[in-house]
Structure 1
Amino acid sequence: MYEEYYGFSERPFQLTPDPAFYYESVTHKKALSYLGYGLNQGEGFVVITGEVGAGKSTLVAHLKQKLDDDRMTVGEVVTSALDGEEMIHVAARSFGLDVTGGDKAADLAAIELFLHEEARNGRRTLLIVDEAQNLSIGALEELRMLSNFQLGSHPLLQTLLLGQPEFKQLLAHSDELEQLRQRVIAAHHLEPMQPGEIEPYVMHRLSRVGWNENPEIDGGIWVKLHKATGGIPRKVNQVMTRLLLLGAVEEQSVLEVDMLEAVVEEMTGDAAPAEASAKPRPDREGPAADAIARAKDEARQASNEFPAAPVAAPAEAGGAPDKGLLDHQIEAIEAAFAERDKHMSALRREVEKLSQERATDDLPADVDQRLASIEARLDEQERSLRHVLTMMIDYFESQGSRAAA
């Protein structure tokens, strides 16, 4: 929506990692230096850690673009809680090996044969393991054992481990990982962006989508944006998406500090504990506000019933298929808009009635109070519409987050 209003070629702050939007902050530049050094060694483990949303996946996507496909074969694993045997199987599959039905010994033999063939063909092999904090000690030990494969004195496999801060702590302090720790040849922890990097980061992403200074951005935003996001790139993307959406809805050509504050306040409310939402809501005058509340309740209930991605469940015998989260949200949003339209019609009739009374000079004594009430209700409808649009953005952002995690 907002990308059309401002004439962008695409969404500049999408959550899915895209190397085209890679921004080299100070910490990312250091990470690339460590990666370059580690890859030049051609052996052992390179470890990159960082908070959720710090840009690990985008960094790796950028790194892969720099690798020579003719000289390097890359396998990628995004882990769940794998044990040792599962880790070997998944690693084999990441290189495209057919290990269906094989046991651990067969999987290891297939991997070793593959690594020897790649080396004889003059190609190095890199295994990238994301979300390494989910791995068991046994799985990490199996990865260490894979690093033992050699052709003569030449190591056949190098491994890049990506993980959240808890993996950094595990690797540093676990007695069971001493041998793996000795094989780490380079490591770096991605820090949040510094306050002075927020503006260049945002401008970099906007420049990639054809931004021509529409909208303009108030210079007072940057310090507040850093404070609100802690300098975490994904959080910056989330806030900027909401801010641009608000600007498009209100048809603003300048994104100002008060708009950012409204967005941050709204997002902070969205992130409030679930029990806070159970508190009685203050009475509202318009039924559209009730419709919005019902829409939120239905979306929350649907999220509890369908925690995974919104894929339609198979139909029961003789019954209709269950609805996914997207279907629930669409129905709730449609209901909210229907209620809003009904209420707006009532407001129009009230204004027309007042206009007729003005024409006959037969104005009631409470006309000012009635006009103030109508204005307040119109403001409430605008806020309600903004909440509905926020729900839609929340859904697509949450799906993007799952895909990019």
Structure 2
Amino acid sequence: MYSDYYGLNARPFQLTPDPRFYFDSATHRKAMAYLGYGLAQGEGFIAITGEIGSGKTTLVGHLMATIDAARLTAIKIVSTQIEGDDMLRMTAQAMGLSSDGLEKAQILERIERFLVGQAQEGKRTLLIVDEAQNLTVSALEELRMLSNFQIEGQALLQIFLLGQPEFRARLNGSERLEQLRQRVIATHHLEPMQAEEIEPYIVHRLSLAGWTGNPQFTPQAYAEMYRHSEGVPRRLNALASRVMLYGAVEQLGTIEADDVATVIADMEGDTPTESLRRPAAVPTASQAAAAVDESLSARIALLETRLEEQETALRRVLTLLIDWAEADRQSPDLSLIRESAA
């Protein structure tokens, strides 16, 4: 709705990660430097962590859009809480390899053949594992074993691990992951954007969607958006989208801090209304007693009505049975009984 009102040709604040809207914040710039360094090394693991909505997926999508697909085969899987054997099968499936009915050794052989084939074509292979915090130790160990594949001293597979902060804690604190930790050549934790990056971020995404300056945002509005989102991209996107919708509904050409605050209150379910501001009238004891009596009377009347209906239905059934007996019928017309009882 707001896209039409403000003349935009795309949704600038959609929650689905879209590398087209990648914003080169300070923390994402550092992450890209580490990813670039890792790709240059061509081996080992690179771990990128960040809070939910910090832009990890968008970051990798931007990276994939900048590399030469003719020289690098990128494979991405989203992990779940699976064990080592299932991780191998997921990896094989992502490579387009069938693993149905195969033993572990056979799956490993197929993966190695695939990696060797890629190398012979002059391609390197990159495996990107998202949601790495869900990986079990056995799954991480299988990934480490996959990183051992090499030909003529060159690694056949490089692995990027993307996860939430708890993965970073596990990686650094678990003795069982010591061998994997030794294979990690670079790590980076995505921090939230700073307050001064909010305006460039908003303007960047709006401009990519065809924004021509309508609406404008005041500095105080940007400050209010930072206060609520704390610089987390996904939270900022959700807020900015609602603010734009509010602006379209109210036909605003300038977004003020009060407008942002109104939207925030609405999102949090705290929008003040006249009915909420007025204190509820407290009934007196006599009013409360009268209300209880009225409720009980209504319930009693309802029960009496139902009893009368049931008695009428029973009388009809008994009348039909008596008529049938007097006529010496061999079988009663049950359809009539059911119809009358109904």
TM range (shorter): 0.7 to 0.9
CA contact (8 A) 1:72 1:123 kept: yes
Alpha-carbon distance, 1:100 to partner: 2.7
Which moved further from structure 2: 253-262 or 177-186?
253-262
Match of 1:186, SS?
strand
Alpha-carbon distance, 1:101 to partner: 2.9
CA distance in 2, matches of 1:122, 1:212: 45
Counterpart for residue 74 of structure 1: 74
Identity %: 54
Alpha-carbon distance, 1:102 to partner: 2.2
CA contact (8 A) 2:222 2:257 kept: no
Counterpart for residue 147 of structure 1: 147
Deviations 1:102-155 (A, max 9, x none): 232221111001011111111100000000000001000000000011112111
Alpha-carbon distance, 1:267 to partner: 1.7
Match of 1:269, SS?
coil
CA contact (8 A) 1:44 1:147 kept: yes
CA distance in 2, matches of 1:19, 1:41: 24
CA distance in 2, matches of 1:147, 1:184: 11
Alpha-carbon distance, 1:230 to partner: 0.8
Question: Which runs of no fewer than 5 residues in structure 2 stay unpaired?
Answer: 271-278, 281-342
CA contact (8 A) 1:49 1:168 kept: yes
Aligned length, in residue pairs: 272
CA contact (8 A) 2:48 2:190 kept: yes
Matches within 5 A, 1:333-344: none
CA distance in 1, matches of 2:225, 2:93: 42
Which moved further from structure 2: 223-232 or 98-107?
98-107
CA distance in 2, matches of 1:100, 1:260: 54
CA distance in 1, matches of 2:184, 2:193: 26
Letter in 2 for 1:244: M
Match of 2:268, SS?
helix
* Structure 1 moving runs of 4+ over 4 Å: none
Letter in 1 for 2:100: T
Letter in 1 for 2:69: D
Counterpart for residue 129 of structure 2: 129
CA distance in 1, matches of 2:215, 2:241: 13
Letter in 1 for 2:80: S
CA contact (8 A) 1:74 1:95 kept: no
Counterpart for residue 157 of structure 1: 157
CA distance in 2, matches of 1:103, 1:67: 35
Counterpart for residue 95 of structure 1: 95
Alpha-carbon distance, 1:99 to partner: 2.1
Q: Does 1:178 align with 2:178?
A: yes
Counterpart for residue 311 of structure 2: none
Letter in 1 for 2:209: V
CA contact (8 A) 1:149 1:155 kept: yes
Counterpart for residue 246 of structure 2: 246
Letter in 1 for 2:59: L
Letter in 1 for 2:160: L
CA distance in 2, matches of 1:147, 1:37: 17
Alpha-carbon distance, 1:98 to partner: 2.2
CA contact (8 A) 1:116 1:156 kept: yes
Counterpart for residue 197 of structure 1: 197
CA distance in 2, matches of 1:199, 1:218: 10
Match of 2:269, SS?
helix
Letter in 1 for 2:95: F
Deviations 1:173-215 (A, max 9, x none): 0000000000000110000000000000000000001111111
Match of 2:159, SS?
strand
CA contact (8 A) 1:172 1:181 kept: yes
* TM-score normalised according to structure 2 size: 0.78
CA contact (8 A) 1:127 1:157 kept: yes
Matches within 5 A, 1:236-275: 236-269=236-269
CA distance in 2, matches of 1:230, 1:250: 26
Counterpart for residue 308 of structure 1: none
Alpha-carbon distance, 1:243 to partner: 0.4
CA distance in 1, matches of 2:200, 2:188: 23
Alpha-carbon distance, 1:254 to partner: 1.5
CA contact (8 A) 1:132 1:167 kept: yes
Counterpart for residue 65 of structure 2: 65
Counterpart for residue 108 of structure 1: 108
Counterpart for residue 329 of structure 1: none
CA distance in 2, matches of 1:268, 1:26: 30
